Chains A and B, each alone.
Chain A
Amino acid sequence: MSAAVVEQKQTPQPRVITTEPRFTDKVFRSVVTSGGLIAGLLLGLIGFFLIYNGFEAIRAAGLSFLTGFNWVDAVPEDGQAASYGVGAMLYGTMVTGILAMLMGVPVAVGTALFLSYYAPEWIKKPMVVVVDVMAAIPSIVYGLWGYFVLMPHAEYWAKLIHKYLGFIPFFDMPAPVFTRSPFIAGLVLAIMIIPIVTAVSREVFAQTPLERIQAAYALGATKWSMIKAVVFPYGRGGVIGGAMLGLGRALGETVAVYTVLNLVYDIRIEVLLSAGGSVASMIVNKFGEADPVELQALMGAGFVLFMVTLLVNFLANYIINKTARE
């Protein structure tokens, strides 16, 4: 009797097979998940705290916060009320960003083509390093270089453009001041966005199916007709996305633009004139002596800038991801 009991006790339980993670895995997963969510949520936190602190200013100004041209502090002695609007600066940001794209993207795409299809093997590696180093240079270095080195040259170029193309309204010149213009700021920004546009374009060009390239060559295409017929149609989305990524960078650039652009609260279409705008530079410019009310307005301006760059970036990443998946 007792022997049977002992035998029964010794019969092992069948092992429980489960997909339930072990305790350590649960801890591991929750730690990793919370780390990942912190990074994901940071974007939301940034937006929240900017709008939270800038809401008063935006509510007080209403829609004119986006469209207004004035950035005037309240002067109680004169009975003057504060009036804050980022319209002119937003317009100036767009102008310099678009100029940077017009000048930078062709060069960047050309460089990407050079690296993918034209460059001899020995120059490829150093050229990739050149583009990477350009991406690593901090913006204040570009600012200093743009102000002291590029501007004297660019001023001369601007005069030439005005002399020969002055009949186009964009290149008209009401006052002969050619320094610190949107044109020069766009030039500096163009150099700053070249690395990222080149990198993204190169990545899509590298994904062009080899058999299509070879098919084009087999049909007797020259290198350029191959690029026109195969590479561009295939990589169009990626190049557009890369250009927009560059635009996003250009819109948010602060110190480099600050040094080479004269901030004027006005909307002008003459890009060679020493008068432009940039939301980011304006924030740095006004931040030092801002009172609490103006600080709220600056937070509001930061929120507007944040939303604009986020929109451009979302769109750019969406286009690139879509192209990469196809």
Chain B
Amino acid sequence: MSQAILDVKPEYPWKLTPKDLVTDFLGALFTLASTLAIVGFSPLKGKLGFAITLIFMAVITTTIMSWIKLDRKAAFNSATTVLVYVTASFVIIALASVLYEIIRLGAPGFSFSIFSNDMSQTASDMPLTEGGLLHAVIGTAYIVTFATLISTPIGILTALYIVEVKGRFAGLVRFFVQAMSGVPSIVAGLFIFALWMIQLGNAYSAVAGGFALTVLMIPTVARTAEEVLKLIPSDLREAGLALGATQWRTVAMVVIPAARSGLITAVILGIARVVGETAPLLLTIGGADAINLNPTQGNMSAFPYYVWKNLLIGSENAISRAWLGVFVLMIVVLVFFTLARYLGAARGGRK
């Protein structure tokens, strides 16, 4: 009896049979061959013609094949499957193109001497071996540090208000913060210009740029921190309160330590969001070619501003400088991005 059961072979009806594989392979071959033939013998030329014909032929082939094999519904299913894969590959191609061009056009100008020079003695048109972007490094460091120092407490307090205190306005604050994450960056710049410069009579400075970035950074920090705090199990809070702790002690000694890496992730995501913002800085920092070590006074430069200025100058070397700036900026952004993901993954892994 047991022998008979062991003799039964498990079946996998969903697995592709060799016959299926052969027809699929032939279909793919036909698609490729017909595409090449059409591109070869018709006025459709170039990469675009090839891509469009390939997509078209792939949809046609799979549709007809599944129609013959099964029915109309299967045909629709195959056509949409191909289209979904095509859209996903569009996204990959776009990102690959952006990253590839940044490396191709930005990396050749890269050398470590750019971190020891500024542009005060160098015109943008000079070869890239002259000058550097130390002034932009310092400016961005000041501006982003300042924005982080202000927006971290406000962002985390906002998240605490929504999740822990659950005050009367919690829903309203949450809704406003959500809407704030869609405020155009140029509007943030105009707001700081109106408040800090026109109303309070200050001049361009790194601090003003930091204020503008704060406006953009608060929603990112607050929303991510909110998500993180919501993930903390309420058992922990209840245990803290049951031991007789006040809410303040519970939050400070239990909730915050449990959420620490997540909160750090929130801040890093906020930094990654604002470090490349250009428009608000154009209205608030004034721009400079020389190193300015005083964040509260005088015009300041920054990475995005450096890129922007060289882009507008437009000569060959200036454009190379712009790409170089973008290359360095992308490295900074990706470092923060990877850091945030790494910390986020570590948090998820421990759970």
**Which A residues form the contact surface with B (CB < 8 A)?**
21-22, 24-25, 27-29, 31-40, 42-43, 45-46, 49-50, 52-53, 106-107, 109-111, 113-115, 118-119, 127, 129-134, 136-145, 147-149, 153, 156-157, 160, 191, 194, 198, 222-225, 227, 245, 248-249, 251-255, 259, 280, 283-284, 287, 298-299, 302, 305-306, 309-310, 312-314, 316-317
Can you list 30 A-B pairs, Cβ within 8 angstroms, ordered by A?
Answer: A27-B248, A35-B157, A38-B157, A39-B155, A39-B180, A39-B222, A40-B173, A40-B176, A42-B180, A45-B195, A109-B87, A110-B86, A127-B88, A134-B91, A137-B98, A137-B276, A140-B278, A140-B304, A144-B311, A147-B311, A149-B97, A191-B94, A224-B76, A224-B81, A252-B183, A252-B185, A254-B184, A254-B186, A254-B279, A306-B187
CA distance A287 to B191 in the complex (A): 13
- Known contacts A106-B87, A225-B77, A302-B187; A141/B276 CB under 8 A: yes
Chain B residues within 8 Å of A130, by CB: 91-92, 95
Q: How far is the CB of A311 from chain B (nearest CB, A)?
A: 10
Q: Once the chains bind, are B172 and A40 in contact (CB under 8 Å)?
A: yes
Q: Once the chains bind, are A284 and B282 in contact (CB under 8 Å)?
A: yes
Total contacts A to B, CB within 8 angstroms? Answer: 273
Task: Indicate which residue in B91, B160, B180, B198 contacts A131 across the interface (CB closer than 8 Å).
Answer: B91
Majority secondary structure of chain A interface residues (helix, strand, loop or mixed): helix
Shortest Cβ distance from B88 into A: residue: A114
Task: Indicate which residue in B80, B92, B154, B272 contacts A39 across the interface (CB closer than 8 Å).
Answer: B154
Q: CB within 8 Å of A: which of B81-130?
A: 81, 83-88, 90-92, 94-95, 97-98, 101-102, 105
Chain A residues within 8 Å of B162, by CB: 36
The 0/1 profile, CB within 8 Å of A marked 1, for residues 298-328 of chain B is 0000001001100100000001001100100
Chain B residues within 8 Å of A115, by CB: 88
**Which B residues form the contact surface with A (CB < 8 A)?**
46, 48, 73-74, 76-77, 80-81, 83-88, 90-92, 94-95, 97-98, 101-102, 105, 153-158, 160-162, 164-165, 167, 169-170, 172-173, 175-180, 182-188, 190-191, 194-195, 198-199, 215, 218-219, 222, 246-249, 251, 272-273, 275-279, 282-283, 304, 307-308, 311, 319, 322-323, 326, 329-330, 333-334, 337, 341
Q: Once the chains bind, are B88 and A309 in contact (CB under 8 Å)?
A: no
